[in-house]
Each structure stands twice: as C-alpha cells, then as structure tokens.
C-alpha cells in the first residue's frame, strides 16, 4: 500500500462530502476543491509543489467524474464496500488505448504535453535532434514514464547511426 495520504482517501473524503450528497452537492464540492488545487493557482511555485497540486487536482477531477455519473457512482459505492478506493473502468481504459493513434504516448503532466507534442512532430518531420531535445524536456517533467524514456532512447540510437 502507498504511503501517500491521497491514496488513502475515497472520493467522498477527497471532495469533503457525505456519501448521501446530491448531484448539486457534488458539483459545489468540486468547485471548492478546484479553487484550492487547480494547478494554475500554483504558477511560480516550486516544481514539486505544482506537480503535487496537479496530482491532487487530477484525483479530484476523477472523483467528480465518477460521483457526478449515477451509474458510475453506484458502481463506485459497491467498490468502496469491497475495500477499493479508486474507480477503474476497464472498458474506458481499453477504449482509450484503442482510439489512441499508433505511435502516440500518454503523459500525465500538463507541463510535459507540449514537449511531447513537439517531439512527435519533429520525429515525423525527420528532425531527430529536435525530437531528442523535446523528448528530453518531456522526461524532465515525467522522469518515471517508461514509454517516454524508451522513445527517447530509440531517437538517441537513430542519431548514433
């Protein structure tokens, strides 16, 4: 189990609402949550603080999506009763992977996305040096992203040829 307190909170605790909260209560709670944790509030803060706020905000947005949907909320309540704190919809994950164009990568960090996009464009245009640079910049924002690291290593190998 994770030592991160965020992983110990269910969606109701995260948004500070009761399990009996109405849809309007969920919306109000998420609005208040967003006012506290939206990454834009942390502009100019140290990178670790911005990343933590982004992580918390993403989890809150996940909570809102689940609790705002009556079907997902019902399923989530069953998951909580079974001891699971996060909702994972396997069909959504599969659909997202199927819709993703081949060769694209997922990144979590908002700051990594523009660099990834530039890297993919440069790679497509055959500008491997620029692709390497931008993959490297994306990796600075997501050093634990294995797929990003693999793609970077592939570009480096191509440049050595």
With contact defined as beta carbons under 8 Å apart, do 68 and 26 qualify? yes
Return left, alpha or beta for 103; rule: phi > 0 is left, psi -120 to 50 is alpha, else beta. left
User: What pLDDT does 1 receive?
Assistant: 44
User: What pLDDT does 106 receive?
Assistant: 74
Tell whether domain 5-99 is in CATH 1.10.600.10: no
Give 30-60 pLDDT, tens digit per residue.
999 999 999 899 989 998 999 999 999 999 9
Q: Residue 41 has what DSSP assignment?
A: G
Length reported for the chain: 161
User: What pLDDT does 104 receive?
Assistant: 55
CATH 1.10.287.110 residue ranges of the chain are 5-99
Give 81-127 pLDDT, tens digit per residue.
988 888 876 555 455 555 555 455 777 777 888 899 999 999 999 99
User: What pLDDT does 145 receive?
Assistant: 83
pTM tops 0.85, yes or no: no
User: Tokens for 10?
Assistant: 């269910």
pLDDT at residue 73 is higher than 90: yes
pLDDT at residue 140 is higher than 80: yes
Give 2-28 pLDDT, tens digit per residue.
558 888 999 999 999 999 999 999 999
User: What pLDDT does 110 receive?
Assistant: 79
Write down the mean pLDDT value for the chain. 86
Instruction: Report CA torsion sign: 9, 10, 11, 12.
Output: negative
């Amino acid at each position: 189990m994770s030592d991160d307190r965020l992983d110990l909170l269910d969606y109701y605790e995260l948004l500070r609402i009761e399990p009996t909260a109405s849809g309007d209560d969920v919306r109000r709670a998420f609005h208040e949550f967003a006012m506290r944790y939206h990454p834009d509030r942390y502009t100019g803060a140290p990178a670790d603080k911005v990343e933590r706020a982004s992580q918390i905000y993403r989890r809150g947005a996940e909570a809102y999506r689940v609790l705002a949907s009556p079907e997902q909320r019902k399923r989530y309540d069953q998951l909580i009763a079974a001891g699971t704190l996060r909702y994972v919809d396997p069909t959504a994950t599969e659909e997202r992977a199927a819709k993703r164009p081949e060769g694209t990568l997922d990144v979590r960090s908002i700051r990594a996305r523009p660099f990834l996009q530039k890297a993919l464009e440069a790679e497509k245009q055959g500008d491997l040096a620029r692709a390497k640079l931008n993959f490297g910049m994306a990796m600075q924002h997501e050093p634990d992203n294995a797929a990003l690291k693999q793609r970077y290593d592939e570009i480096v190998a191509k440049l050595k040829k």
